[in-house]
Amino acid sequence: MSEHQAKVHWARGAGEAFTDSRYSRAHVWEFDGGVAVPASSAVSSVPLPYSKAENVDPEEALVAAISSCHMLTFLYLAAKARLVVDSYEDQAVGHMAKNAAGRKAITTVQLSPRIVFSGAREPTDAEVQHLHHAAHEECYIANSVSTEISVAGEWSFSARRP
């Protein structure tokens, strides 16, 4: 169907012995579009100064991927339903805990989208809930993980016309 790639680059810093575990976890993710993202382990996993708090960590990236995929699928389905979306903002939160196998995992992600609709037709609460349900069912990332994903968002309608 399709292939998706990312290049991950890390190098041991000068003076880092490595075998003492005192080495930087900072690294870079590179994508085919040319974007380079500074990454690191999460500070909750590897303490400072060996993690770089301002860099994206894999746990945050997973939460962002789940949120982004849900949003993109929601927008696609809203457009198909002839609903106009002016904005969509989500403050997604993932929680690490032990999974059923007793291993640490991002076991839950709570999506909290705030959506503003406009246009000729205001959606009903049932339509918005249906769009979220369908977006979850069709999201490639949600279909790829065992993480429990829930949505508790809000929406509003603006009277302005396109």
Would residue 63 count as lying in a domain? yes
Residue 84, φ and ψ in degrees, nearest 5: -100, 120
Whether 143 and 103 map to the same domain: the answer is: yes
What average pLDDT does this structure show over 88-101?
Answer: 97
**Are 117 and 75 contacting, i.e. CB atoms less than 8 angstroms apart?**
no
Which has the closest alpha carbon to 46: 30, 61, 37, 57?
57
Instruction: Tell me if residue 133 falls in helix, strand or coil.
Output: helix
Residue 134: strand, helix, or coil: helix
Is there a domain that residue 162 lies in?
no
For residue 160, name the pLDDT band (cuts at 50, 70, 90). low
pLDDT over threshold 60, residue 46: yes
The alpha carbon torsion through 33, 110, 102, 142 (nearest 10 deg) reads: -50
> Per-residue pLDDT for 93 more than 70?
yes
Q: What percent of the chain has pLDDT over 70?
A: 98
Contact call for residues 78 and 47 (beta carbons, < 8 A): no
Is the same domain home to 76 and 148?
yes
Reported confidence tier of residue 159, pLDDT bands at 50, 70, 90 = confident
For residue 24, give the nearest of 7, 35, 39, 36 by alpha carbon.
39
Over residues 107-128, the mean pLDDT reads 97
User: What was the pLDDT predicted at 1?
Assistant: 86
Give the residue numbers spanning the domain of 71.
58-157
The pLDDT value recorded for residue 161 is: 57
Q: What is the pTM of this model?
A: 0.94
Residue 111 lies in a domain: yes
* DSSP run (H or E) holding 157: strand 154-157
